[in-house]
Every structure is written in structure tokens, then in C-alpha cells.
Amino acid sequence: MDNTFQVDLRGVVDLLSHHLYGSPRVYVRELLQNAVDAITARRVDDPLAPGEVRFEPAEQTGDGTLRVHDSGIGLTEAQVHELLATIGRSSKRDELGFARHEFLGQFGIGLLSCFMVADEIRVLTRAEDSPTVAWTGYADGRYAVTLPAEQRPGIGTTVTLVPRRGTEHWLAGPTLTELARLYGSLLPVEVRVGEVTVTSGPPPWHSSDPEGSVRRYAREILGFEPFAVVDLRVPAAGLTGVAMVLPVPANPVAHAGHRVYLKRMLLAENAEGLLPDWAFFARCVVDATELRPTASREALYQDGLLDEVREALGDQLRGWLVRLATQQPRRLAEFLDVHHLGVKALALHDDEMLRLVERWWQMETNVGRMTLAEFRQRHGVVRYTAKVDEFRQLAAVAAAQNVALVNGGYTYDSEIIERLPVLDPEIRVERLEPTDLAARFEGLDPGIELSLRSFVATAQRALDPLGCEVVLRGFEPSGLPALYLVDRATAFRGELRATKERADPVWAGVLSALDEGGGDVRPQLVLNHRNPLVRRITALGSAALVGTAVEALYGQALLLGYHPIRPADAALLNRSFLGLLNHAVPGEETS
Ligand SMILES: Nc1ncnc2c1ncn2[C@@H]1O[C@H](COP(=O)(O)OP(=O)(O)OP(=O)(O)O)[C@@H](O)[C@H]1O
């Protein structure tokens, strides 16, 4: 035998009135929504029927209650029993149970939200050709219906809330005005709180001066002056609105919330999921007729339509960017100055954005700031370093060897450069291998080389314990005495081993697995024979002093290139510094 669920009414009332919503303030929205829906229902048969919602805050009613009057369709006695007294029953669904398009409500639970601020809800309602009906509901699930002798002055409904102790402030004039304005300012019927009208006409993007009105709205409501305003439109979702491009950089991981109205009633001030993640530089204000709210009516329901909307809005923002690039490149440059991180993040997945970055974003290179497109045109291969330190060390040396170099060390830059061949397979991209640079340095005259053999041998002996090879070359800039070059794979393994020494056995084992294969190419200290100091060092008579000087050059080259300093390097730096100091300060030792 089948049984039906038993329901504990008090539990359900408590759940729906107290636990579904994030804050008691939504009771204002639910009251507004019912009043507007009732007016909409009345206007189906009587398009010229008045459309008015009036709140009387506690200060005005004088008895501590709040009243809201509407000129809506009202309810007959039978409807009161059916609709107000049955949780989950709504007049806003069709025979099949689907939400009817013209109404804001659909679930048949909204009125219960009033129990967050009231112990008692009274509804006085009058439908056409029917007597006035009074319904009173209590938070414990009881209700009473009477037919009062005194008739309500006109068709419509008055809802009265008797405040719960401790929640009176939610019903007071200032709070009520603020909340009615927040939720209802764009509603198509006039809403007043006391004598104050809180509705302000159609959405700003539908006004006669859309740009001016949207900017004013942004300043007054959102608190910023947008960099740009982009029109949005998705007919399938009945959506219109604007995206406002933020005037300051936004945090790419902090999702921007959007202001979403459904049928001109505010749904959420911080709705997520409306734009693709990459579009974090924009904040939207939209009104939609077809998107669905969650039951708490505080967020958008994640469905296929929302996915379509997100994609369409992404396309519209992308289109705006591309138009800016072709029609207003100067504005685009300004935009990129503020939001380059977002655009670059997007360029990692999106070819159009990649092209935009390639053409319009100026990168640091050792031949001046320029776009990657310009760089490619002038220098062919896009040669780059992936670390800022590496660029700093090698920029001048590479420039002197006519090697143009892009600094790919900033966020996303090297990934963007590596992705360039997606735009055109002809594009050649190469990460600079520091040791390749040495191959471009001029070798010495054989005679000179021969005469310096013993110097090189002495220098090599000084650096042997550090596993570094000494090379003597002539290169520009001549002001640079020495350059420490290490190939990337060796540098990586060096760092791995240093970490391994500090790690616990398990982690060290993992690191060992990574350290397999590939013989190390010894790092090189390339001494510059064009440098006057180096020449003087090669001419020193004392082998000990040559050793100390070469050690000092080694240490200085390490520091200059921001290379990691191992304990052995630190000891050597110390030793050579003291050695040179000792040599520089003359005089006998005294005791
Ligand atoms: N001011 C009003 N005038 C006329 N009928 C009303 C009014 N307020 C409520 N009702 C009736 O009571 C029903 C239940 O209202 P309730 O607010 O609980 O749910 P709803 O508006 O249908 O849906 P939702 O839970 O999505 O708000 C409504 O469907 C409507 O028929």
C-alpha cells in the first residue's frame, strides 16, 4: 500500500520563512513582487487599470504595523483559501505547472518570507464583483478568514505586517524606503513609500541619453566612472543591459558580481556566472525576462540558457575590444594599460585576443618598447627570455651582439610568445639559450690566446672547485668585465640538487626522479678581453692575486645575473673580497 509523506507544517513554515533567504530584507521584495504581479494580472483584462503600490511604514500607520496597498486584481474568498492558505500554491503557474511568463513570482512561498519580520500577516483583499475578504496568517501555520462588513474602498489588496519583537527596525520608514528603492527602482509601476516615489522609470540604457544615464547610474549606484560602456543584448533571454568596463585593474581571480534585474525587479547586486571568467574587467547591469531565479531569488539558476547568455555576452565584449583595436587604437592602448593582465590571460586560450595582444601590447625588448608584431617585422625571430632577471643580465650583451631580445618574464608573456605560431605557422619563436650567446663572442687573436694560456690555467684552477669553466673572449659592451652563462637544463638541475639537500628523504626521492638523464654542461665564466680591468688582471705577476681577482669577477657576475648563490659561492665571495681588501690596504701588521 502506498502512503503519502506527512508534513510538519511548523517545520515547513520555519524552513521557508527563515532558512531559505539570506536576509530578512527580502520581505520587501516579495511584497513588491506580489503587488506588481497583481497589477499585471488585473491589466490583462483591464489595460487601463491603475498601477500603484504604496507602502505605509510604521511611523505612518501609527500602530507599529506596516501596510502595503496595491491596485491589483485582488482575491475572492475561494482564491484566498486556495492561494494564501496553501503553501506552494501559486496563481502564477499554468495548468502544466510552468511559471507564467508575465509574472515575477512562481513558487507560491514568497509571502512566507514576511514571517522573518512579522508574527502575523493580515491580508485585506477585494476582487471585482466580490466582497472584501480578510485573511490572517500566523507563523505557527494557523490562519483565519472572515468577511468583514466594511468593504475595502477599491479593487486591490492591503497586506499588513504585525512586527515580531526585535525586528521593528525592518519595518521603519528609512529602511523600507531604501529597500523598496533597491529592489523596485526600475519597476514599471509607481511605487511609493509614504510620500516618496522610489521608482525612477525605465532602465538607464533605455533612456533618451543612454550613455549619460548609464554613467550617472554607475557613479551613483556602483560608485565608479566606467572606462567604457558596452551595450548588451541577448534576445533569446529577453536580456538588455550594459557592461561597464572598470576604470582600474580588477583582480582576475576575484569574480566580479553583476547587477541583475529580472523583469525589472532587482534579483542580485552581485550575481555570478553572467560573464565568462576572462571578462573580469567588466561589471554588468542587465534586465532579463527569461532567465530563472533560484527559489531564494538571490541568484541566477544555472541552466542551459544561462550558459548561452554567458557565451553571447562574452562575444559582445570581445567584439567591442576588436572594434576598439580597429577604430580607436589609442583608446585600446589606454584600456590595455589598465587591463592587460586580463586580456593576456584571455589570449592564452583565444586566438583573437592573442592577435590583439600581438598587435597592440607594447613589450619590453632590448631595442626599446614595441609590440610583438613590430618586433617580428624588424627582427624576424621572436627571441625571448622567460625570466625578468635573465633579461636584465643579457639585454645589453645581446644587443651588442645584434641579438634582439624580448623580455618574456612578466606574467603570461612567455606563454603568449610561445603561442604566436597559432596565428601564423611562419612565425618563428625561440627562447634564448644563454650559452648560445657565447658562441657569438669573438675569439681572441691566436697569438694573444697563446700568450694568455698560463693566465687561463691559473684562473681555471681558482674556479675548478666550483665546477665552472673559464673562457676568454672579446665582446661588447666592453665595460662589462665578465659574464656568467649557464645553460637552462644545467641551471634547473643545479637548483633541483640544492633543494634536494634541504628536503626530507621522501621529497628528495621525488626530486631525484626528476634529476635523471642529461649530462651537465659546465657553466662558463666568460671574461671580456676588451675590458681594461680584465686586461690588467691578465698581466698580473702573482698567481695568487690572479686567483683572487678571478674569484671576485666570478662572484660579481653571479650577483649581476641574479643567479642563486650556493654556500660554496658565498664562501668564495667572502674570501675574494677579504683577499682584495688585504691587498688594497697597505701597511705592516701591528699587534
Ligand atoms: N497582493 C496580492 N494581490 C493578489 N494576490 C496575491 C497578493 N499576494 C499574494 N497573492 C496570491 O497569493 C499567492 C501566493 O503568493 P506567494 O508570494 O506566496 O507566492 P508567488 O508570488 O505565487 O510565488 P513566489 O514564491 O515565487 O513569490 C500568489 O500566487 C497570488 O495568487
Here the ipTM equals 0.98
- 8 Å CB contact between 167 and 18: no
Instruction: Judge if the beta carbon of residue 524 lies within 6 A of ligand 1.
Output: no
Structural domains of the chain sorted by starting position, each given as residue range(s) with its CATH number in brackets: 9-197 (3.30.565.10), 204-326 (3.30.230.80), 361-438 (3.40.50), 446-486+523-584 (1.20.120.790)
pLDDT of residue 281 exceeding 80, the answer is yes
Ligand 1: nearest atom to the Cα of 73: 4
- Say what the pLDDT of residue 511 is: 60
509-527 mean pLDDT: 72
569-573 mean pLDDT: 91
CB-CB neighbours of 466 under 10 Å? 17
- Say what the pLDDT of residue 253 is: 62
Between CA 73 and CA 321 the distance in angstroms is 48
- Say what the pLDDT of residue 214 is: 95
Ligand 1: nearest atom to the Cα of 70: 1
Confidence of residue 515 (pLDDT cuts 50, 70, 90): low
475-485 mean pLDDT: 93
Using most ligand atoms within 8 A of CB, pick from 12, 34, 114, 294 the residue to mutate for ligand 1.
Answer: 34
pLDDT of residue 539 exceeding 70, the answer is yes
- Say what the pLDDT of residue 409 is: 95
Instruction: Judge if the beta carbon of residue 38 lies within 6 A of ligand 1.
Output: yes
513-532 mean pLDDT: 79
Between CA 23 and CA 116 the distance in angstroms is 9
Between CA 232 and CA 241 the distance in angstroms is 5
Confidence of residue 547 (pLDDT cuts 50, 70, 90): very high
pLDDT of residue 434 exceeding 60, the answer is yes
27 CA from centroid of ligand 1 (Å): 13
- Say what the pLDDT of residue 591 is: 54
301-312 mean pLDDT: 94
Which stretch of 359-363, 401-405, 441-445 has the lowest confidence by average pLDDT?
A: 441-445
Which residue has a Cα nearest atom 21 of ligand 1?
105
Instruction: Judge if the beta carbon of residue 266 lies within 6 A of ligand 1.
Output: no
pLDDT of residue 204 exceeding 60, the answer is yes
Omega of the bond prior to 329 within 30 degrees of 0, cis? no
pLDDT of residue 496 exceeding 70, the answer is no
Instruction: Judge if the beta carbon of residue 35 lies within 6 A of ligand 1.
Output: yes
Using most ligand atoms within 8 A of CB, pick from 44, 83, 296 the residue to mutate for ligand 1.
Answer: 83
Between CA 348 and CA 425 the distance in angstroms is 17
- Say what the pLDDT of residue 494 is: 67
pLDDT of residue 149 exceeding 90, the answer is yes
Between CA 546 and CA 548 the distance in angstroms is 6
111 CA from centroid of ligand 1 (Å): 7
pLDDT of residue 348 exceeding 80, the answer is yes
Residue bearing the bigger pLDDT, 483 or 95: 483
Query: How many percent of the chain have pLDDT more than 90?
Result: 64
pLDDT of residue 586 exceeding 60, the answer is yes
Which residue has a Cα nearest atom 28 of ligand 1?
90
Ligand 1: nearest atom to the Cα of 90: 29
Which residue has a Cα nearest atom 10 of ligand 1?
34
> pLDDT for 216-242, tens place per residue?
999 998 899 999 999 999 999 999 999
- 8 Å CB contact between 214 and 206: no
355: cell is 592577435
DSSP assignment of 9-53, as one string? HHHHHHIIIIISSS-TTHHHHHHHHHHHHHHHHHHHH-TTS--EE
Residue bearing the bigger pLDDT, 299 or 39: 39
Instruction: Judge if the beta carbon of residue 204 lies within 6 A of ligand 1.
Output: no
Using most ligand atoms within 8 A of CB, pick from 76, 90, 297 the residue to mutate for ligand 1.
Answer: 90
Q: Is 456 exposed, middle or buried (0-12, 13-18, 19+ CB in 10 A)?
A: middle
pLDDT of residue 255 exceeding 80, the answer is no
Ligand 1: nearest atom to the Cα of 297: 26
Instruction: Judge if the beta carbon of residue 39 lies within 6 A of ligand 1.
Output: no
> pLDDT for 12-49, tens place per residue?
777 777 778 888 899 999 999 999 999 999 999 999 99
431: cell is 627562447
Between CA 58 and CA 162 the distance in angstroms is 10
Query: How many percent of the chain have pLDDT more than 70?
Result: 92
pLDDT of residue 507 exceeding 80, the answer is no
Q: What is the mean pLDDT of the chain?
A: 89
**pTM, two decimal places:** 0.76
Instruction: Judge if the beta carbon of residue 92 lies within 6 A of ligand 1.
Output: yes
Instruction: Judge if the beta carbon of residue 267 lies within 6 A of ligand 1.
Output: no
Confidence of residue 90 (pLDDT cuts 50, 70, 90): confident
